[in-house]
Amino acid sequence: MVRLHVKKGDESQFLFDTSVTVPIEELVKQITAIYNGRLKIDRICSEMGELAEHGITMPPSMQGLADEQIEELKLKDEWEERCVPSGGSVFKKDEIGRRNGHAPSDSMKKVLQKTMEEAKALISKKQAEANVCVTLEMVKEATDQLRGAVMIVYPMGLPPHDPIRMEFENNEDLSGTHAGQLVIEEPESQLWWAGKELHRKQKLSDYVGKNEKTKIIVKIQKRGQGAPGREPVISQEEQKKLMMHYYRRQEEFKKLEEDEDISYLNAEWADSNSLKRQFQGVKDIKWKPR
């Protein structure tokens, strides 16, 4: 199997195993699906953290309004009585006025938090450091774990306008958000290796050869952004180690120079012309001013 180290810019994303015979078209689809799936899990976990703290999201017409404004406009959240967390709720007001403040009990809160930690760990960037490949099945498993935890805490489901439910149903609206800018739609996705774009009509073997025991770094990005930066010859960590090695060597040489005793060079026996002066009879001649 060929091992791909997928990066976005200079930032490591995940490892992925494939074959040299795979068409680039299929490879781009697989890599992009995992990349976007990991982003989705991050978004869901971010919202689940708010869900655990402040309960479900209020209708868009009520978000950001003060209690007095809601009363004055006679607005009512019809989902508040339907979407009650298992085991009751604890009121924790959402200061930004986005969620209704009816948070799950501590035991249900822990269910959400524990599941979030497990899901994040499954698709974490640290998996690459541990030499563990991420698959689309792992992304789906993490998503299913999060969905299951939400169903345990909210057996009646979440409101249709809640971002978590919209993410699970693939109805999320990310337009105009930073999260939306990170997503790479499959038709716009490109893979690059060694400064060359991997064209969809070719196979991976057309670029890396037929050796299955190969490891390469590929970079994913949107079409039209040009070639990504080339990988440095040595990594930043290796560069730090190399600089530290040279620094230590330099310090060792300095210490040796300081400790070196060169006073013997002034001794008579170390004078290479001493024997010559003895034969010429010019030994111990002293000069005085006239």
Q: Is the pLDDT of residue 28 over 70?
A: yes
User: Does residue 287 lie within any of the structural domains?
Assistant: no
A 10 A CB-CB count for 266 gives 8
The total of structural domains in the chain comes to: 2
Q: Is the pLDDT of residue 165 over 90?
A: yes
Residues 214 and 235 in one domain: no
Residue recorded with tokens 């309960």: 55
Residues 61 and 193 in one domain: yes
Q: pLDDT grade, residue 226 (50/70/90)? A: confident
User: Does residue 43 lie within any of the structural domains?
Assistant: yes
Range of the domain at 78: 2-222
Residues 204 and 251 in one domain: no
Mind listing the pLDDT tens digit for each residue in 75-94?
A: 888 888 888 999 889 999 99
Name residues whose C-beta falls within 8 Å of residue 212's C-beta, 6 or more positions apart in sequence: 1, 2, 19, 20
* 118-122, 205-209, 217-221, 256-260: least confident range: 256-260
Helix (H) or strand (E) holding 31: helix 24-54
User: Does residue 270 lie within any of the structural domains?
Assistant: no
User: Does residue 98 lie within any of the structural domains?
Assistant: yes
Question: What is the average pLDDT across 14-39?
Answer: 96
Helix (H) or strand (E) holding 250: helix 236-259
Domain end, chosen from 176, 195, 222, is at 222
A 10 A CB-CB count for 144 gives 12
Burial string for 177-215 (b: 16+ CB within 10 Å, else e) reads eeeeeebbeeeebbbbbeeebbeeeebbbebbeeeeeee
Residues 245 and 197 in one domain: no
* 18-27, 215-224, 225-234, 245-254: least confident range: 225-234
Per the CB < 8 A criterion, the answer to whether 5 and 216 are in contact is yes
C-alpha to C-alpha distances, 226 to 144, 152, 187, 244, nearest whole angstrom: 36, 46, 16, 35
Identity of residue 24: I
Residue 247 burial (CB < 10 Å; 0-12/13-18/19+)?
exposed
Q: pLDDT grade, residue 283 (50/70/90)? A: low
- For residue 153, the model assigns a pLDDT of 96
Question: What is the average pLDDT across 233-255?
Answer: 76
Domain end, chosen from 222, 239, 273, is at 222
Q: pLDDT grade, residue 38 (50/70/90)? A: very high
Residues 145 and 20 in one domain: yes
- For residue 72, the model assigns a pLDDT of 86
Residues 114 and 174 in one domain: yes
The overall average pLDDT reported for the chain is 87
Residues 144 and 176 in one domain: yes
Specify the pTM. Answer: 0.78
DSSP H helices, 123-162, are 126-129, 136-153
Residues 157 and 198 in one domain: yes
Question: What is the average pLDDT across 140-150?
Answer: 97
User: Does residue 289 lie within any of the structural domains?
Assistant: no
Residues 179 and 83 in one domain: yes
User: Does residue 209 lie within any of the structural domains?
Assistant: yes
Mind listing the pLDDT tens digit for each residue in 60-77?
A: 888 888 888 888 888 888
Structure-model confidence comparison of residues 130 and 249, the more confident one: 130
**For residue 209, how far is the Cα from the chain centroid?**
29
User: Does residue 94 lie within any of the structural domains?
Assistant: yes
Residues 101 and 201 in one domain: yes
User: Does residue 282 lie within any of the structural domains?
Assistant: no
Q: Is the pLDDT of residue 230 over 90?
A: no
Domain end, chosen from 222, 240, 275, is at 222
Residues 213 and 236 in one domain: no
Tokens standing for residue 38: 């990991």
Residues 217 and 161 in one domain: yes
